[in-house]
Amino acid sequence: MSFSWMAWTLPTAMFFLTILALLIGMSIWEYFAPGGSPRIGILRFETTRGDRLFISLLGAAFIHLAWLGLVGPNLWWALAIAVVYAVGVFRFV
């Protein structure tokens, strides 16, 4: 199978490997502590660890897209903002 249609650069590979590592880590966490730690946060509905991971990844995607559109291609600050956002989601949502 040829993957020439995709721009497989080092940042692209790191992006997908990071998501894979997050999913594997969450699976291991769920195996040892089943149930997903459901809780009601500031959104006022019950969320689990998986829900919070999904919200974090979705928010990070929008943060990066907005950064690309408004600031430019240097994404290190967008990554920092996305990490702070993810910590906030896991803490308060």
pLDDT of residue 11: 77
Residue closest to 79 by CA, chosen among 90, 62, 92, 64: 64
pTM: 0.82
Say if residues 71 and 47 touch (Cβ distance below 8 Å): no
The helix/strand/coil state of 48 is: coil
Q: Which helix H or strand E contains 56, and what residues bound it?
A: helix 49-70
CA atoms of 60 and 56, how far apart (whole Å): 6
pLDDT of residue 43: 85
CA atoms of 17 and 19, how far apart (whole Å): 5
pLDDT of residue 6: 72
* Tens digits of residue pLDDT in 34-47: 987 789 999 899 99
